[in-house]
Structure 1
Amino acid sequence: MTTPNAPLGPDPIGTEPSITTRGDLIALFADGEKPKDRWRIGTEHEKFVYRTADHRAPSYTEAGGIRDLLDGMTDFGWSGIMEGGNVIALGGKDGNVSLEPAGQFELSGAPLDNLHQTCAETGRHLEQVKAVGDRLGLGFLGLGMWPDKTRAELPIMPKGRYRIMLDHMPRVGSMGLDMMLRTCTIQTNLDYASEADMVKKFRVSLALQPLATALFANSPFTEGKPNGYLSYRSHIWTDTDPARTGMLPFVFEDGFGYERYADYMLNVPMYFVYRDGVYIDAAGHDFKAFLRGELPVYPGHKPTRTDWSDHLSTAFPEVRLKSFLEMRGADGGPWNTICALPAFWVGLLYDDAALDAAWDLVKHWTIADHTRIRADVPRLGLKTVGPRGRTFQQLGAQVLDIAHAGLTARARLNAAGENETGFLSPLREIVATGKSPADRLLDLYHGEWQGDLSRIYDTARF
């Protein structure tokens, strides 16, 4: 269900036919359609890795660093994925483990039927990384942004696509390097039955993505002090690269569907072409020129389906379409929030009555409403005011009731006979108290910690 950040196995490009028509592009989205009984849940979550002795971010090559962490994971049945002679990812029955640019450690989980399986998968992964980390003197933080590290203090992982992105980001925004090096997220990937089903789910999830940002806000510190935001990670996206980020107003326009999203992606500048184990720098070039065989850095060649899939992964809107929908609005956080995020979205999007009820809440919102809300949420969180004067704390209570009903209707039970609604409990507490994870960290910083941010390593570690 997830698309790995690194090629798996032999380079398939040589055996793939070229794509040349709009129909070829749209086919990837249409091929993602699945009947409801085959809908699955994919959960991705990132965490920061640090040295327990001094809280330093380890490099890839140092003894006990990121490479050794990857190697240690093979004790649990994971297999190494290579790039340029380096292990840069892992494959296994629980999906893929990959590295973000500064060594953030990510599980891209397997497509699973229910939330009980998803949370168990998360638990297995965290137990594994903690076991290896204990041997190496490494710890793991569940936060949305490094609370105390400058960019210069962070290592760079040996992945070709990241070098291209690191060079390109400062050309198009002021905070792209922060996004790459200093942030972590939780993401949920979900299926759709048809183009119409995709459209409805896209609209509901895009409208409510800022609510997810408010509920999961967990990045209130930058370089050792409060930054004035609850989700600084979300704020960073507002000046990363306007060509490939944002709320996508066209999703709410009449006629939106696969073809309109393909048009959007054709206007997103390229990053790279991957051939024979090498990333060719195509940053800023036009995918339409690639379709014509006129890409200046790779002339005479046309893209394959894999190239199109890779290109789809280089846009970063709040919700992203591949052959499934990706929910991208949440900060990284602790185990219970990793389980809560898919519960939130599955409850809203995988039951027809819940989806209808959620759409009824947001269908009257204007593009101006979406724009204002997206701008307010990183700073105000649950205090953000919606179009009809309700705070997001009030809206959150109503949306959680809808998600609860959706999960109840799904009736996916564990061995104890419990349904999936229990995974919403952390969000119920957040809405009841009006305090997101970021609010609680700020209370600790200004109270018990007396401004000593080093104590976050005890509070936010897995």
Structure 2
Amino acid sequence: MSSSGIPRGGPPLTEREAEDLLRCICFKTGPPRTVGVELEWLVHELRDPRVPVPPPRLAAALDDVRSVPLVSSLTFEPGGQLELSSLPAGSLTECLDALAADLRAVRSVLGSHGLTLSGYGVDPWHSPRGRMLHEPRYDAMEAALDRTGPAGRAMMCESASVQICLDAGVEEPGPLGYHRRWQLAHLVGAVLVAAFANSPLHGGRRTGWRSTRQALWTNLDPLRTLAPSPDGEPRAEWAAHVLDTPVMCVRADEGPWEVPEGLTFRDWLRTGLPRPADAEDLRYHMTTLFPPVRPRGHLELRMVDAQPGRDGWMVPVAVTTAVFDDPEAAERVYRAVKPLAERAGAGPAPRNPLWLAAARDGLADPELHAAARAVFSAALEALPRIGAGEELRQAVAAFHERYVIPGSCPADDFEVVAS
């Protein structure tokens, strides 16, 4: 630890040491047993979410939320979005119950301030939304992403998501193997984008995308948001991707952090400039990569828009967990979505034709519609096998009937929905 509190990871890394470290920490294999969720929410005026919340009022409310005892980890995004991250849970039900209890406590505090949590992939009305967090990380992130255009600031301050965290899988081949689950995530991921798209408005106008949030991620950065090839050996592909992606920032003990342009982590290791990189720098660099599926020992599926309603977020978590962790469903879904690989082509997600169609067209796309019907059918059959309760199964069935069967998504019947 440096005198400024920035962790230091020991002596300078060599390129070989960095590759070995990445291979060791990014896919931790074993039988799938745990599930976790990270929920991001926009915070809006309770009576009329179209009315902007003055920053001092929002800051005071968020300060009160910090005092609430929670099981989940509570953090805030740069624009004041609230994030709850569950602990790894031993079952889907345990995970959902713990998060739901924390959400009730948070909503109660916000309600006393006349505010509420709103589930949209991007803020439909308030753009541009100013940054509330002024920290070296976000100062550097803003400077780096501004080089590409306005999508970076919108992502930082105006977006929200449901992120599902599942174990990487076992070493052996088969439906629960980590290589298969890595491939499945990049195909099912596009189906999840399409089925749960919930951000057709931005700045009060329709954008032409069912998931404007996904469109923002697509345009955010030339490399930082891309997936490596899902077809190669996952550890090798991910290690190369991490090392060959430009560094967002070089942390400093004092003053603003340097924001180099075009310096990959591999270049940094080879040159030792602007200072030698260590293991903690590598770990930090990985937190500045935003692919749709990020391996962090487990798999972090990052592609789902925040969902409408108080409990709408539970449906994508349940569907995803069921089709990954139930072996029968995983095999069935893999066979159903495997043909989508031809549509994706050789380009990386989320910038390939499959993912672009998912974000733009949702389930109006015939291939994605057919795939979604197969995914939800398998999930509905698997949920009882993984211990899901009747109420959750009914919620998934209701979503299936309302959206998936007719080929729709929440963006298609968009209305003001505050939790």
TM-score w.r.t. length of structure 1: 0.79
In the superposition, relative to structure 1, how do residues 461 and 364 fare at CA in structure 2: closer, same or farther (>3 Å)? closer
Residue 225 of structure 2 is matched in structure 1 by: 245
Q: How does 1:173-212 map to 2 (within 5 A)?
A: 173-195=149-171, 197-212=177-192
- 8 Å contact 1:336–1:426 — kept in the other structure? no
- 8 Å contact 1:41–1:114 — kept in the other structure? yes
- 8 Å contact 1:145–1:183 — kept in the other structure? yes
Separation (CA, whole Å) in 2 of partners of 1:401 and 1:47: 29
In the superposition, relative to structure 1, how do residues 405 and 51 fare at CA in structure 2: closer, same or farther (>3 Å)? closer
Separation (CA, whole Å) in 2 of partners of 1:289 and 1:41: 36
SS of the residue corresponding to residue 47 of structure 1 reads strand
Measured after TM superposition, the shift of residue 231 of structure 1 is 1.1
Q: Which has the higher strand share?
A: 1
Residue 77 of structure 2 is matched in structure 1 by: 100
Residue 364 of structure 2 is matched in structure 1 by: 383
Residue 450 of structure 1 is matched in structure 2 by: none
The two structures, once aligned, show a CA RMSD in angstroms of 2.6
SS of the residue corresponding to residue 301 of structure 2 reads strand
Residue 142 of structure 1 is matched in structure 2 by: 119
Q: How does 1:434-453 map to 2 (within 5 A)?
A: 434-441=407-414
Match of 1:159 among 132, 135, 144: 135
Aligned AA (1:251): P
In the superposition, relative to structure 1, how do residues 194 and 303 fare at CA in structure 2: closer, same or farther (>3 Å)? farther
SS of the residue corresponding to residue 372 of structure 2 reads helix
Q: How does 1:10-409 map to 2 (within 5 A)?
A: 11=5, 13-14=7-8, 16=10, 19-20=13-14, 21=17, 22-30=19-27, 32-36=28-32, 39-52=33-46, 55-59=51-55, 62=56, 64-66=57-59, 68-77=60-69, 92-94=70-72, 96-151=73-128, 153-195=129-171, 197-248=177-228, 250-252=229-231, 255-274=232-251, 280-284=257-261, 285-292=263-270, 294-296=272-274, 299=275, 301-304=276-279, 306-334=280-308, 335-369=310-344, 371-386=352-367, 392-409=368-385
SS of the residue corresponding to residue 125 of structure 1 reads helix
Separation (CA, whole Å) in 2 of partners of 1:322 and 1:107: 18
- 8 Å contact 1:336–1:423 — kept in the other structure? no
Residue 432 of structure 1 is matched in structure 2 by: 405
Aligned AA (1:157): L
List runs of 5+ in structure 1 lacking aligned partners: 1-6, 78-91, 387-391, 445-455
Aligned AA (1:329): M
TM-score w.r.t. length of structure 2: 0.86
Separation (CA, whole Å) in 2 of partners of 1:257 and 1:48: 34
Separation (CA, whole Å) in 1 of partners of 2:145 and 2:283: 21
Measured after TM superposition, the shift of residue 354 of structure 1 is 1.8
SS of the residue corresponding to residue 129 of structure 1 reads helix
- 8 Å contact 1:13–1:275 — kept in the other structure? no
How many residues were matched structurally? Answer: 399
Measured after TM superposition, the shift of residue 217 of structure 1 is 1.0
SS of the residue corresponding to residue 281 of structure 1 reads coil
Which range moves more in the overlay, 307-316 or 202-211?
307-316
- 8 Å contact 1:272–1:279 — kept in the other structure? no
Q: Deviations over 1:75-116 (max 9, x none)?
A: 432xxxxxxxxxxxxxx532x111112111111111112222
Separation (CA, whole Å) in 2 of partners of 1:125 and 1:311: 30
In the superposition, relative to structure 1, how do residues 384 and 23 fare at CA in structure 2: closer, same or farther (>3 Å)? same
